[in-house]
Chain A
Amino acid sequence: GAVVSQHPSWVICKSGTSVKIECRSLDFQATTMFWYRQFPKQSLMLMATSNEGSKATYEQGVEKDKFLINHASLTLSTLTVTSAHPEDSSFYICSAVPWAGGPISYNEQFFGPGTRLTVL
């Protein structure tokens, strides 16, 4: 149990286009999801905290108009990279925290496998 998926697993796009990445909790409901960015040989950097039904909370230095986050349901959060540029190329990882009232009552983040974004 507690599986998180991401789609797509990799994407290549042209500079100036927008890319949407989906994060789904497959067998549990998640009121909170997190979005991370990972550069090669570097740590995961938290970008934003996504709460179902409310606006995301962005970390300092993350442009909220560039990285649009929508947490429309208890099992889905999306990250849209708008007007992508080569410097946005990275590995994006999401995680989900099970809803406290659900069958999985862990206070633990479950991670998706990540999405590799390459902007040409």
Chain B
Amino acid sequence: GNSVTQMEGPVTLSEEAFLTINCTYTATGYPSLFWYVQYPGEGLQLLLKATKADDKGSNKGFEATYRKETTSFHLEKGSVQVSDSAVYFCALSEGVRLVFGQGTRLTINP
């Protein structure tokens, strides 16, 4: 079946550091790919998405490119802020269903 693998956390960075959270997937067909973010005490929110190969999703300074050749959708941000501290989930679509990675906890220190 389809699956998503994220890099192990937790990840701790200093403010203004460069962020990469790796995500790879296994899927039949061509799913849409997503990054969700969960801030403390809140529900998951869609951060960005890409619906086909070579698409780049972006939002709030975060970016991820749908790479079919490497089956990856790595999340990047050039300069993180303390407010980016959260748990990040990579996911793919199976129709209307979502398959999630295990989540990566990110902590940004001032």
Contacts and interface: CB of A to CB of B under 8 A. Distances in A.
Q: Do A and B bind each other?
A: yes
Contacts of A44: 44, 89, 98, 100
Q: Which bucket holds chain A's interface residue count?
A: 20 to 34
Contacts of A95: 44
Contacts of B42: 113
A43 B44 CA distance: 12
Contact of B97 (A46, A93, A108, A114): A46
Interface residues of B, number: 17
Given A108-B46, A111-B45, A113-B43, A34 B97 contact: yes
B97 A111 contact: no
B43 A107 contact: no
Contacts of B102: 41-43
Given A44-B100, A49-B96, 4 more contacts: A43-B103, A49-B97, A97-B96, A107-B96
15 contacts: A32-B96, A34-B97, A43-B102, A44-B98, A44-B100, A46-B97, A49-B96, A93-B43, A93-B44, A108-B46, A109-B98, A111-B36, A111-B43, A112-B43, A113-B42
Interface of B: 4, 36, 41-46, 89, 96-103
